Structure 1
Amino acid sequence: MNASLPDTARHLMPSHSHSLDWVGMENIRIPLSLKATDVSEEISHVSATVDIGIDLPGGEGARKGIHMSRLYRALLTMSEQPLTLPAVLKCLQECVSSHEDCYSYQSQINIAFDLLLLRPALLTQAAAGWQGYAVELSASTDADGNSSVSVGVDVAYSSTCPCSAALSRQALSEHFRIASEADPELAQPDPLTVSQWLLEHGSVATPHSQRSVARINVSLSPDAVSFGIGELIDQIESALQTPVQTFVKRADEQAFALRNGSNLMYVEDASRRILDALSGYQMANIQVRHYESLHGHDAVAKSNWIAPAMANNNAVGGNTV
């Protein structure tokens, strides 16, 4: 019965028909499972949004359209097992091989989801909470069989302005000087007197800080087995030192304040810390955004980084980066 159903996608186009760079589907909702880290056996289940497509050459023998159900079938097969980089590349190969009659030779997939990781409290024993990270995985193949793979993640953290901190310290110092001139006990103070004074007046000025977000995208080797999402997040949070917290009691909040005080950061500082942490990757693209509490606008820094070895190879080949 199905053999008699019309298949208009197989119709041939005129020899002058245009080639299309990408034809496929976007915003496909699908459940996926994956290991958040290379060393963990725990499987995370996520609700993902997927874009997937292939090219459609024009010219002599060009087809009117592709069979999108074949792409969807390849995607369903990929989703039946924990998500790995080899499984993603196999899915892309299936998308191309299933369209040999269309002469397609390249494919691309983007997978976006929110990953939840259990993060411990800074000090409170046996306390933890769930932190969410927006993740995007991208992969593509070309006519020569080459593959490119990248991982993107958003990491939220706290940033305290170095200038504001310096101004606050200066204001506190001046406030203490004026107070000591009016109070003989402060003029020749002992540590306990100063300590008590600071408890009462130490917040005469406070530096401004804000929730901030680092958006990082790194390139992976197609030979890798894992996407290494958890490891990437750990590297970024370790470099910044002030990731936003989940479970917080007063002791944890004080510990967080101490971390902020020890890690004063402009967007430039945060960007350079992250770039230092990503030195093991081939290429990286970062965007750091501080949602200013002083201003109504955001402070932003962006950078594209490429490993020196790759930069030298590109220079030899005459390519520009």
Structure 2
Amino acid sequence: MPPVAALPDVALTDLPPAHGPLDWVGMQHIELPVQVAEPGCLATVSARADVQVDLPDAATKGIHMSRLYRLLDLLEGQALTPASLARVLAQMVESHADCQSRQARLQLAFTLLCRRPALVSSGLSGWKGYPVRLRAHWHAGVLQLRARVEVGYSSTCPCSAALARQVVEQRFLDQFGQRGGLGAQEVAAWLRANASAATPHSQRSVASIEVGIAGHAGTLGLMALIDQAEAALGTPLQTAVKRADEQAFAQLNGEHLMYVEDAARKLTQALQSTHDGVQVFVSHRESLHPHDAVAWAARP
């Protein structure tokens, strides 16, 4: 057999039609499994990766896409941590030394699937998904890492609650305003029949929370961040429920009335002492209006 000819590599041998450095070159939406080490969560999840390096050499035609793609295999079989992300990004830069690349970045998007218990029913639980986006940047031996999580919760309008209470109050006065000496059981029976004469509006709401993660941290701490956010809001969405759990959820909503402004402030106050670079976006998907109420907040 004749010898196999060397395959051409025009990225190395050909000149670009126009010269100039490029900020980033790479790929988007690469599908791969990743390992997460978060308490109560599914260990392997499906992710999509965006990966790029810079191309500062104006005369280099192109980078080596396949090298970046194959280096993502280094993430398989090990839990995502700042250290594992740093190793992959460092090797991406090293693999492109012939392109004079100095920086690499990686974004991973996946849903963290976690088992959540019911509020009060013993032994009852269900799966709940939390969308996550990690953004890692490697330059001059330094890892910059940020994580964004989405947390669903319920929000009941304080104004609507006050208006509903006034309706109930007025009906009570209309019926009993001229009477005295009401017994507790009589009042309780009236409330059971009339306390829902008006009900406040509430809605499913979403908080998008982004924080910085130290490069030397041992873990990503995603579930700790989610737990902290849900505790601050007080009304996290539920999975499996029985009537007792639904009643407990209704009580939580009554105890945590909030405007969109309240939710944003609760989150930033709870997170700014434990995380750097906190950014919060909250959206209350109104049941009263055909539009959403939104708020943003950021803390350095």
Of 170, 178, 195, the residue aligned with 1:174 is 170
RMSD: 1.7
The 3-state SS of whatever aligns with 2:237 is coil
Name the CA shift for 1:269/1:2 in 2 (closer, same or farther; >3 Å): farther
What is the rounded CA distance, in whole Å, between the counterparts of 2:266 and 2:213 in structure 1?
20
Q: How does 1:82-121 map to 2 (within 5 A)?
A: 82-121=79-118
Q: How does 1:79-228 map to 2 (within 5 A)?
A: 79-142=76-139, 144-181=140-177, 184=179, 187-228=180-221
What is the rounded CA distance, in whole Å, between the counterparts of 1:224 and 1:165 in structure 2?
43
Q: 2:284 is matched with which residue?
A: 290
What is the rounded CA distance, in whole Å, between the counterparts of 1:2 and 1:141 in structure 2?
39
- Between 149-158 and 4-13, report the one with greater CA deviation: 4-13
Q: Which amino acid aligns with 1:286?
A: V
The 3-state SS of whatever aligns with 1:147 is strand
Amino-acid identity (%): 47
Shift of 1:78: 1.8
The 3-state SS of whatever aligns with 1:101 is helix
Contact 1:11 1:63 in 2 (8 A): no
What is the rounded CA distance, in whole Å, between the counterparts of 1:228 and 1:36 in structure 2?
7
Can you list the C-alpha shifts for 1:239-293, whole angstroms capped at 9, x where unaligned?
1110000011011000000000000011111111111221211111110000000
Q: Which amino acid aligns with 1:53?
A: Q
Of 252, 260, 278, the residue aligned with 1:267 is 260
What is the rounded CA distance, in whole Å, between the counterparts of 1:5 and 1:16 in structure 2?
25
Shift of 1:74: 0.9
Can you list the C-alpha shifts for 1:279-313, whole angstroms capped at 9, x where unaligned?
2111111100000000110000001111xxxxxxx
Q: Which amino acid aligns with 2:38?
A: A
Shift of 1:5: 0.3
- Between 71-80 and 291-300, report the one with greater CA deviation: 71-80
Shift of 1:146: 2.4
Shift of 1:112: 0.4
The 3-state SS of whatever aligns with 1:66 is coil
Runs of 5+ in structure 2 lacking a partner? none
Contact 1:15 1:58 in 2 (8 A): no
Of 3, 6, 9, the residue aligned with 1:4 is 6
Contact 1:157 1:242 in 2 (8 A): yes
Q: How does 1:227-266 map to 2 (within 5 A)?
A: 227-266=220-259
Name the CA shift for 1:175/1:2 in 2 (closer, same or farther; >3 Å): farther
Shift of 1:13: 3.5
Q: 1:280 is matched with which residue?
A: 274
TM-score by length of 2: 0.95
Contact 1:16 1:58 in 2 (8 A): no
Shift of 1:57: 1.1
Contact 2:279 2:297 in 1 (8 A): yes
Q: Which amino acid aligns with 1:271?
A: A
Q: 1:317 is matched with which residue?
A: none
- Between 289-298 and 5-14, report the one with greater CA deviation: 5-14
Q: 1:310 is matched with which residue?
A: none
Name the CA shift for 1:169/1:189 in 2 (closer, same or farther; >3 Å): same
Q: Is the counterpart of residue 74 in structure 1 residue 68 in structure 2?
A: no
What is the rounded CA distance, in whole Å, between the counterparts of 1:2 and 1:219 in structure 2?
51
Contact 1:71 1:95 in 2 (8 A): yes
Q: Which amino acid aligns with 1:71?
A: L
What is the rounded CA distance, in whole Å, between the counterparts of 2:230 and 2:201 in structure 1?
21
Q: 2:54 is matched with which residue?
A: 55
What is the rounded CA distance, in whole Å, between the counterparts of 1:14 and 1:247 in structure 2?
58
Contact 2:108 2:135 in 1 (8 A): yes
Name the CA shift for 1:14/1:25 in 2 (closer, same or farther; >3 Å): closer
Q: Which amino acid aligns with 1:23?
A: V
Q: 1:20 is matched with which residue?
A: 22
